[in-house]
C-alpha cells in the first residue's frame, strides 16, 4: 500500500489532484468499455438468432451453414411452419340449471391475408349434445341460421359461395364431430359463428358431471375394411389418408398455441347446496352470488389439447333421489325423469356372483404415449380385483390379436401372475382392428358353453381409445353376438371416441368409463369394479299416468351409484299423476312413485330448470331412431323419421344441417376463393404429438460475468483510493 | 475535508461492489454446485433403483422427481443421471426426461432436456455418429447413434414433433452455448437413433 514514494512538494499536490481526476476519467471510460465488452459477448447469440430467423423464412430448402463451434446443419424444425390464412378463436359458456346445461359456443374466423378464403373447421361436441341454434355475426349484422335437410343446406351454401355471399354451414359428420364452413371471408374480415346446444348432465355416485371435448382423436379406418362407408353420407367429407389409415389430416397438430385456445366460462345454478365444485384438468376460479356459481378458467383460456370436465357435489343429505322437470313447448309437454335407486350394501350379493371376465385391451399405435400406460395400469388394477370363483382371459389387439389363454381360466395365483407379466410387456403400435378382437372376445363364449357358463355372469371389459372409423360394423357385431354378455367400455386418453364407446356399452348393456389421466386410473377402475361386481337394479319398468313417448325405450340395468334418466313427451293439456318405477334391486322387488305435474300453472318455478328438456327429448328420439338403422331397419325409413323430428325441433342430425347466408354480395367478381382447413390440436398424451421445448439455460454465465465485472470495478476503485491513503500517510509524517 | 468525505463515499461504494460481486459469484457457484453435487445424491438413488429392479427411488426425501435413466457418452466421458420431468425443478439437478415423450427404452421418441451451461454443455462437442448409451431402471442398456443436429427457433416452431418411424432419443439444450442470458428462443436439438450393433 505504501510503496509509493512519499513526497511533499506543492507541485506534487497538483499532481495528485490531477491523478484523482485522471482516475475518475479512467473509471468512467472503463465502465463504458466494460459495458461494450458485455454487449460484445452477447452478440454471438444475437447474430445466431438473426441468421436463423432469416433461414426460417425460406424454409423450402436446407442450407448448410458454417457456425462456429463445430460443423452442423442449420434448418427449421422438421415440420414446415404453417402459415395460417384464417385465425380461429373460440369461446364457450355453460349455463347450467339443475339437470340441464345450455351451452353456447362461439367460433370466430379472422382473415389476415389479402385473399378471399373459406374456413373449414372440424370440432367435437359431446355426443349427446342437441344442437338447436346457429347464428352468424358479421360486424353489426346478425344472420340466424336455418335448419335444413343436409343436401338442401349444402346446395344453399354452395350457391352462396359462388355468388360471393358470406355464408356458414354447420354439418354433423359423426354424432360427436361437427364441421363449420365459413365462406367468403374477405381480407381483414372477422366472422363469428355462434351455436347453442343443450345436454342433460351426468349424475353418478352423488356427483354431477359436465364434459366438454376439445380435441379430436384421429380415427383409424381399417385399410382393408369392407367398404362400409361408401354409401354413408356422414363420412364422405372426411379426408382419409390412405398411407396411414388416419382420417383427418395427421398434420393437424402443427398449429401453434394462439389459434388453438378456448375461453371457458360457466354459470352454475345447481338448485341445491353444493359441497364442492371442481374441474379435473383445468384450474378454475369460482365466485358465488345468490346461490349461483360463476366459473372461469384461472388462465382465462385453455389450450385445446384436453377436455374440459366440471363436476360438482351436493352436500350430504341433499342429494337428489328423484326429480321431474317438465317444459311446455307449443301444445306439447316434455319431461325429464331422474331417479336414484336405493343404495345396497351389496356385499352378500357380490360373494355369490361368479363371473367370467374377458379383458380386451387396445395396443394400437394411437394408444402410444401416456394412453398405453393408463390402459396397462387399469388392466393391472383390474387383475387384482378378480375373485377366486371367477374365470378370466386377456385379449390384446392392434393389427393382429393375441390371447393370453386359449380359453378363460379359473383365477389362481399362477394365472394372475402370468397375466400381470403379459400386461407389463404390452406395447403400443400398429392399427386398430377391433372387429376380430370383439369376435374373439364374444366367441370364447361358445367354446366354454359346454362347460359351466351356466350361472356365470359374462362380462367383457374393453379398454381402448376407440380411434376407429368402422363403428357401425362393430355395433352390428355386438348386437348380433352379444347374447347375455355385458360389455363394459373403458375410454383411455384425452380424446377417446366416447360416442362409440358409450353406444357400444349401450348395445352391450354395460357401462362406459372414461379415464382421462393416469391419476384417475385407481379411482375410476375401482368404481367400475364395484359396479360390475354388484348389478344393482335390474328389469326396471316405468308406468306412466298418461300416454307418453319415452326414451330410452328399453331401460338398462342400473349399477351402484347410477341414476335412471328418462326423457318423455306427454300429450297436450294438463296432466297430473304419479309415475311408478319398479324393478328388482338386489334380490328384492322394489318400486317408487314420483309426482308428475305438467302443463300446470306452476310453470314459472320450473321453467328455468326445464328449458331445453324438449330438445333433449328430441335428441334422444333421434338417437333411438338411428339405433334402429344400426340393427337393420331400412335407411330411407329411418331418414324420414329422423328428418321429421329434427326439422320440427330444429336440431342437428346426420340428415340436417344449419345454414346461414348473408344477402349482400361481398367478394368481387373474379377474385378467387381459397379453402383453408383449420388444424386441430393433437390430443394430449397421444403418440402422434408434439411437446414444447424445455427451458434449458441457467443464469450462471450472466452471474459469473456480472460478478467478475463487480470485482473488476472494486479493483479499479481500490486503485483509485490509494492516493488518499498516500495523503493520510503524508499528514502523519 | 473534501477528500475525507470522498474517502467515506468510496468506502461505501467498495463495500457495495464487494457485496454485489459476492452475490453474483455466489449465485453462479450455487448453480454449478447444485448441478454437480445433486448427481452424487441421484447416483445413490439410481443404485437402489437398479437393485430393486426398476422401483421409483427419490434422491432426497422431499424431492418431487426421481432418476429414470443413466446417460453415457463414452467418447466425451460424460456420465449423467436423468431425472423425471423437464422443468426447472429437475433441470437444476440433472438432465430431465420430458414425460409427454416415450418412456426411455420403450418404442417411440424419448426427449431429454438439459441446461447448456451445466449438464448438457457437452452437446457442443457432439458429432454425427457419436455413440450414446442409456441405462434403464431395469438395468438394460440401449444404445443410440447421433443422426442429426440442428438449431430450432421456438418462436417459429413451438413444438417438437414426436412422430417417428423408429425409436429415437432427442437431446435438447439452449443455443448458442456461450450466450450470456437465459430465455433465448433457440434450441439445439440432437437426434440419435437406436443402434442395433451395441
Residues of chain A with Cβ-Cβ distance to B179 below 8 Å are 42, 44-45, 48, 697, 701
- Whether residues B161 and A41 touch (CB distance < 8 A) is answered with no
Q: Phi and psi of A612, rounded to 5°?
A: 100, -15
Question: A120 is written with which cell numbers?
Answer: 373449414
Residue A211: partners with Cβ closer than 8 Å, 6 or more residues away: A126, A202, A307, A308, A309, A514
Nearest to A717 among B13, B103, B158 (CB): B13
Which domain CATH number covers B90? 2.40.260.10
Q: How far apart are CA A134 and CA A65, in angstroms?
A: 53
Residues of chain B with Cβ-Cβ distance to A718 below 8 Å are 14
User: Is pLDDT above 60 for A368?
Assistant: yes
- Whether residues A710 and B106 touch (CB distance < 8 A) is answered with no
User: Where does A66-145 show beta strands of DSSP type E?
Assistant: 72-74, 86-97, 100-111, 116-124, 130-138, 141-144
Residue count (chain A): 733
Q: Is B106 on the interface with A (CB under 8 A)?
A: yes
Q: What is the pLDDT of residue A310?
A: 92
For chain A, what is the largest distance between any 2 Cα atoms, rounded to a whole number of angstroms? Answer: 125
Q: How far apart are CA A56 and CA A81, in angstroms?
A: 8
The residue-averaged pLDDT of A635-639 equals: 89
The residue-averaged pLDDT of A512-524 equals: 79
Residue B126: partners with Cβ closer than 8 Å, 6 or more residues away: B73, B76, B146, B149, B190
Identify whether the C-beta of residue A466 lies closer than 8 Å to the C-beta of residue A501. Answer: yes
Q: How far apart are CA A392 and CA A383, in angstroms?
A: 9
Query: For A23-32, A134-143, A507-516, which range has the lowest pLDDT when averaged over its residues?
Result: A23-32
Question: A412 is written with which cell numbers?
Answer: 389362481
Instruction: Mutation target for A interface from B5, B179, B183, B189: give the one with most A CBs within 10 A.
Output: B179
Highest mean pLDDT among A360-369, A624-633, A708-717, B99-108: A708-717
pLDDT above 90 covers a percentage of chain A that reads 11
Identify whether the C-beta of residue B115 lies closer than 8 Å to the C-beta of residue A698. Answer: yes
Nearest CA in chain A to B164: A688
The residue-averaged pLDDT of B151-176 equals: 82
Per-residue confidence band for A105, with pLDDT thresholds at 50, 70 and 90? very high
Residue A554: Cβ-neighbour burial (10 angstroms; 0-12, 13-18, 19+): exposed
Q: What is the pLDDT of residue A587?
A: 66
Highest mean pLDDT among A34-48, B1-15, B112-126: B112-126
Nearest to B107 among A427, A690, A714 (CB): A427
Highest mean pLDDT among A17-31, A132-146, A351-365, A486-500: A132-146
The residue-averaged pLDDT of A697-712 equals: 89
Q: What is the pLDDT of residue B120?
A: 92
Q: Is A604 helix (H, G, I), strand (E, B) or coil?
A: helix
Residues of chain B with Cβ-Cβ distance to A705 below 8 Å are 180
Q: What is the pLDDT of residue B133?
A: 92
The residue-averaged pLDDT of A158-181 equals: 84
Per-residue confidence band for B72, with pLDDT thresholds at 50, 70 and 90? very high
Residue B22: partners with Cβ closer than 8 Å, 6 or more residues away: A707
Q: Which of A177, A176, A215, A210 is CA-nearest to residue A305?
A: A215
Taking the CA atoms of chain B, what radius of gyration do you get in angstroms? 21
Min CA distance, A501 vs chain B (Å)?
25
Q: What is the pLDDT of residue A54?
A: 33
Q: What is the pLDDT of residue A249?
A: 33
Identify whether the C-beta of residue B109 lies closer than 8 Å to the C-beta of residue B193. Answer: no
Q: How far apart are CA A193 and CA A1, in angstroms?
A: 81
User: For all residues of chain A together, what is the average pLDDT?
Assistant: 72
Tell me the pLDDT tens digit for each residue of B19-37: 999 999 999 999 999 898 8
Min CA distance, A228 vs chain B (Å)?
29
Nearest to A45 among B102, B152, B179 (CB): B179
ipTM of the complex: 0.83
Per-residue confidence band for A223, with pLDDT thresholds at 50, 70 and 90? very low
| Residue with grid cell 389387439, as numbered in its chain | A397
Nearest CA in chain B to A373: B103
Question: A223 is written with which cell numbers?
Answer: 385399410
Nearest to B124 among A38, A70, A428 (CB): A70
- Whether residues B179 and A691 touch (CB distance < 8 A) is answered with no
The residue-averaged pLDDT of B76-97 equals: 87
The residue-averaged pLDDT of A106-110 equals: 82
Within 21-60 of A, beta carbons closer than 8 Å to B belong to 38, 41-42, 44-45, 48-49, 52-53, 56
Per-residue confidence band for A345, with pLDDT thresholds at 50, 70 and 90? low
B198 versus A285: which is more confidently predicted? Answer: A285
Three-state SS across A693-718? CCCCCCCHHHHHHHHHHHHHHHHHHH
Residues of chain A with Cβ-Cβ distance to B3 below 8 Å are 724, 727
Q: What is the pLDDT of residue A657?
A: 94
Q: Which of A200, A197, A214, A195 is CA-nearest to residue A105?
A: A195
Q: Is A304 on the interface with B (CB under 8 A)?
A: no
User: Is pLDDT above 80 for A635?
Assistant: yes
Question: A324 is written with which cell numbers?
Answer: 321431474
- Chains A, B: CB contacts within 8 A come to 229
Residues of the domain holding B171: 2-194
Tell me the pLDDT tens digit for each residue of A231-253: 333 333 333 322 222 233 333 33
Question: A333 is written with which cell numbers?
Answer: 309437454
Q: What is the pLDDT of residue A10?
A: 41
Tell me the pLDDT tens digit for each residue of A668-703: 665 666 555 555 444 444 434 556 788 888 888 888
User: Is pLDDT above 60 for A730?
Assistant: no
Q: How far apart are CA A564 and CA A530, in angstroms?
A: 18
Residue A55: partners with Cβ closer than 8 Å, 6 or more residues away: A63, A65, A74, A75, A76
Q: What is the pLDDT of residue A131?
A: 92
Residues of chain B with Cβ-Cβ distance to A714 below 8 Å are 14, 17-18, 21
Q: How far apart are CA B6 and CA B38, in angstroms?
A: 47
pTM: 0.54
Q: What is the pLDDT of residue A669?
A: 61
Highest mean pLDDT among A71-80, B29-38, B93-102: B29-38
Q: What is the pLDDT of residue A113?
A: 72
Per-residue confidence band for A121, with pLDDT thresholds at 50, 70 and 90? confident
Query: For A210-214, A489-493, A515-519, B49-53, which range has the lowest pLDDT when averaged over its residues?
Result: A515-519
In terms of phi and psi (left: phi > 0; alpha: psi -120 to 50; beta: otherwise), the region of A216 is beta
Within 57-116 of A, beta carbons closer than 8 Å to B belong to 67, 69-79, 81
| Residue with grid cell 398424451, as numbered in its chain | A685
Residues of chain A with Cβ-Cβ distance to B102 below 8 Å are 368-369, 687
Give how far Cα B31 sits from Cα of A214, A698, B24, B28, B112, Å. Answer: 40, 8, 11, 5, 20
Nearest to B24 among A48, A695, A710 (CB): A710
Strand-pairing partners, residue A332, are A329
Identify whether the C-beta of residue A124 lies closer than 8 Å to the C-beta of residue A105. Answer: no
Q: Is B110 on the interface with A (CB under 8 A)?
A: no
Residues of chain A with Cβ-Cβ distance to B101 below 8 Å are 369, 691
Within 141-170 of B, beta carbons closer than 8 Å to A belong to 148-163
Q: How far apart are CA A293 and CA A276, in angstroms?
A: 11
Domain count, chain B: 1
- Whether residues A721 and B7 touch (CB distance < 8 A) is answered with yes
Three-state SS across A540-603? EEEECCCCEEEECCCCCCEECCCCEEEEEEECCCCEEEEEEEEEEECCEEEEEEEEEEECCCCH
Rounded (5°) CA angle A50-A54-A55 = 115
Question: A726 is written with which cell numbers?
Answer: 498516500
User: Is pLDDT above 90 for A56?
Assistant: no
- Whether residues B107 and A257 touch (CB distance < 8 A) is answered with no
Residues of chain A with Cβ-Cβ distance to B56 below 8 Å are none
Identify whether the C-beta of residue A731 lies closer than 8 Å to the C-beta of residue A724. Answer: no
A471-481 vs A613-630: helix crossing angle, rounded to 10: 80
Min CA distance, A719 vs chain B (Å)?
11
Q: What is the pLDDT of residue A119?
A: 75
Amino acid at each position: 500500500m505504501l510503496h509509493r514514494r512519499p513526497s511533499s512538494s506543492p507541485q506534487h499536490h497538483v499532481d495528485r489532484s490531477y491523478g484523482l481526476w485522471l482516475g475518475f476519467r479512467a473509471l468512467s471510460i472503463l465502465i463504458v468499455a466494460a459495458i461494450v465488452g458485455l454487449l460484445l459477448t452477447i452478440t454471438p447469440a444475437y447474430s445466431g438468432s438473426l441468421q436463423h430467423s432469416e433461414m426460417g423464412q425460406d424454409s423450402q430448402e436446407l442450407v448448410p451453414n458454417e457456425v462456429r463451434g463445430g460443423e452442423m446443419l442449420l434448418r427449421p424444425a422438421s415440420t414446415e411452419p404453417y402459415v395460417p390464412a384464417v385465425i380461429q378463436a373460440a369461446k364457450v359458456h355453460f349455463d347450467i340449471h339443475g339437470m340441464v346445461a345450455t351451452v353456447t359456443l362461439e367460433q370466430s374466423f379472422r382473415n389476415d391475408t389479402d385473399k378471399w378464403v373459406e374456413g373449414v373447421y372440424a370440432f367435437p361436441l359431446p355426443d349427446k349434445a342437441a344442437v338447436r341454434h346457429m347464428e352468424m355475426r358479421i360486424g353489426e349484422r346478425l344472420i340466424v341460421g336455418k335448419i335444413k335437410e343436409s343436401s338442401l343446406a349444402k346446395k344453399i351454401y354452395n350457391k352462396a359461395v359462388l355468388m360471393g355471399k358470406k355464408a356458414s354451414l354447420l354439418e354433423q359428420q359423426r354424432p360427436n364431430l361437427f364441421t363449420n364452413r365459413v365462406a367468403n371471408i374477405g381480407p381483414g374480415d372477422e366472422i363469428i359463428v355462434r351455436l347453442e346446444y343443450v345436454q342433460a348432465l351426468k349424475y353418478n355416485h352423488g356427483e354431477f358431471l359436465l364434459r366438454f371435448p376439445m380435441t379430436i382423436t384421429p380415427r383409424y379406418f381399417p385399410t382393408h375394411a369392407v367398404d362400409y362407408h361408401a354409401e354413408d353420407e356422414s363420412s364422405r367429407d372426411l379426408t382419409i389418408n390412405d398411407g396411414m389409415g388416419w382420417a383427418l389430416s395427421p398434420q393437424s397438430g402443427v398449429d401453434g398455441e394462439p389459434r388453438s385456445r378456448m375461453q371457458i366460462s360457466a354459470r352454475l345454478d345447481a338448485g341445491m347446496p353444493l359441497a364442492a365444485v371442481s374441474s379435473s384438468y383445468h384450474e378454475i376460479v369460482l365466485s358465488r352470488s345468490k346461490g349461483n356459481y360463476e366459473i372461469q378458467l384461472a388462465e382465462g383460456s385453455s389450450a385445446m389439447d384436453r377436455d374440459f370436465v366440471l363436476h360438482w357435489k351436493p352436500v350430504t343429505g341433499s342429494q337428489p333421489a328423484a326429480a321431474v322437470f317438465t317444459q311446455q313447448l307449443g301444445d306439447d309437454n316434455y319431461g325429464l325423469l331422474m331417479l336414484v335407486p336405493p343404495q345396497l350394501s351389496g356385499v352378500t350379493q357380490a360373494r355369490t356372483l361368479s363371473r367370467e371376465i374377458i379383458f380386451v385391451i387396445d395396443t394400437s399405435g394411437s394408444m402410444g404415449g401416456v394412453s398405453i400406460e393408463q390402459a396397462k395400469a387399469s388392466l393391472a388394477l383390474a387383475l387384482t380385483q378378480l375373485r377366486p370363483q371367477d374365470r378370466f382371459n386377456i385379449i390384446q389387439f392392434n393389427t393382429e390379436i393375441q390371447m393370453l389363454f386359449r380359453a378363460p381360466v379359473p383365477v389362481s395365483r399362477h394365472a394372475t401372475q402370468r397375466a400381470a407379466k403379459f400386461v407389463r410387456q404390452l406395447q403400443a403400435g400398429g392399427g386398430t382392428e377391433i372387429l376380430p378382437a370383439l369376435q374373439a372376445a364374444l366367441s370364447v363364449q361358445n367354446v366354454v358353453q359346454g362347460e359351466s357358463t351356466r350361472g356365470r355372469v359374462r362380462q367383457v371389459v374393453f379398454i381402448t381409445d376407440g380411434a376407429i372409423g368402422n363403428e357401425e360394423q362393430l355395433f352390428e357385431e355386438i348386437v348380433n353376438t352379444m347374447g347375455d354378455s355385458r360389455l363394459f367400455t373403458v375410454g383411455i386418453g384425452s380424446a377417446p371416441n366416447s360416442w362409440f364407446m358409450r353406444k357400444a356399452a349401450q348395445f352391450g348393456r354395460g357401462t362406459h368409463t372414461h379415464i382421462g389421466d393416469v391419476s384417475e386410473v385407481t379411482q375410476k377402475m375401482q368404481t367400475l369394479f364395484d359396479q360390475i361386481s354388484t348389478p344393482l337394479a335390474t328389469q326396471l319398468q316405468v308406468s306412466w299416468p298418461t300416454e307418453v313417448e319415452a326414451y330410452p325405450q328399453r331401460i338398462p340395468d342400473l349399477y351402484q351409484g347410477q341414476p335412471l334418466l328418462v326423457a318423455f313427451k306427454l300429450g297436450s293439456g294438463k296432466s297430473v299423476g304419479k309415475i311408478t318405477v319398479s324393478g328388482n334391486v338386489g334380490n328384492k322387488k322394489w318400486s317408487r312413485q314420483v309426482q308428475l305435474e305438467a302443463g300446470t300453472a306452476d310453470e314459472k318455478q320450473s321453467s328455468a330448470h326445464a328449458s331445453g328438456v324438449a330438445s333433449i327429448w328430441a335428441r334422444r328420439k333421434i338417437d333411438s331412431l338411428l339405433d334402429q338403422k344400426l340393427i337393420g331397419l331400412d335407411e330411407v325409413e329411418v331418414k324420414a323419421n329422423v328428418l321429421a323430428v329434427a326439422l320440427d325441433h330444429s336440431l342437428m342430425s346426420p340428415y340436417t344441417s344449419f345454414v346461414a347466408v348473408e344477402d349482400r354480395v361481398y367478394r368481387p367478381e373474379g377474385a378467387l376463393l381459397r379453402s383453408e382447413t383449420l388444424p386441430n390440436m393433437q390430443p394430449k398424451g397421444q403418440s402422434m404429438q408434439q411437446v414444447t421445448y424445455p427451458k434449458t439455460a441457467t443464469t450462471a454465465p450472466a452471474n459469473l460475468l456480472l460478478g467478475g465485472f463487480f470485482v473488476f470495478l472494486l479493483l479499479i476503485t481500490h486503485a483509485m483510493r490509494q492516493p488518499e491513503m498516500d495523503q493520510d500517510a503524508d499528514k502523519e509524517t | 475535508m473534501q477528500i475525507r468525505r470522498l474517502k467515506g463515499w468510496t468506502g461505501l461504494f467498495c463495500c457495495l461492489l464487494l457485496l454485489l460481486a459476492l452475490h453474483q459469484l455466489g449465485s453462479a457457484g450455487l448453480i454449478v454446485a447444485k448441478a454437480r453435487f445433486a448427481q452424487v445424491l441421484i447416483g445413490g438413488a439410481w443404485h437402489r433403483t437398479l437393485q430393486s429392479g426398476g422401483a421409483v427411488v427419490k434422491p432426497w426425501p422431499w424431492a418431487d422427481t426421481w432418476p429414470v435413466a443413466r446417460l453415457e457418452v463414452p467418447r466425451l466421458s460424460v456420465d449423467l443421471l436423468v431425472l423425471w420431468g423437464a422443468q426447472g425443478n429437475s433441470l437444476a439437478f440433472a438432465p430431465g426426461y420430458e414425460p409427454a415423450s416415450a418412456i426411455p427404452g420403450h418404442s417411440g421418441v424419448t426427449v431429454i432436456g438439459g441446461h447448456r451451461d451445466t449438464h448438457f454443455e457437452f452437446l457442443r462437442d457432439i458429432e454425427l455418429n457419436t455413440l450414446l448409451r442409456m441405462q434403464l431402471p431395469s438395468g438394460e442398456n440401449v444404445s443410440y447413434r447421433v443422426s442429426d443436429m440442428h438449431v430450432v427457433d421456438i418462436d417459429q416452431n413451438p413444438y417438437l414433433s414426436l412422430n417417428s418411424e423408429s425409436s429415437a432419443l432427442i437431446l435438447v439444450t439452449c443455443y448458442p452455448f456461450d450466450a450470456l442470458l437465459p430465455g433465448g428462443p433457440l434450441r439445439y436439438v440432437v437426434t440419435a437413433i437406436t443402434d442395433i450393433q451395441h
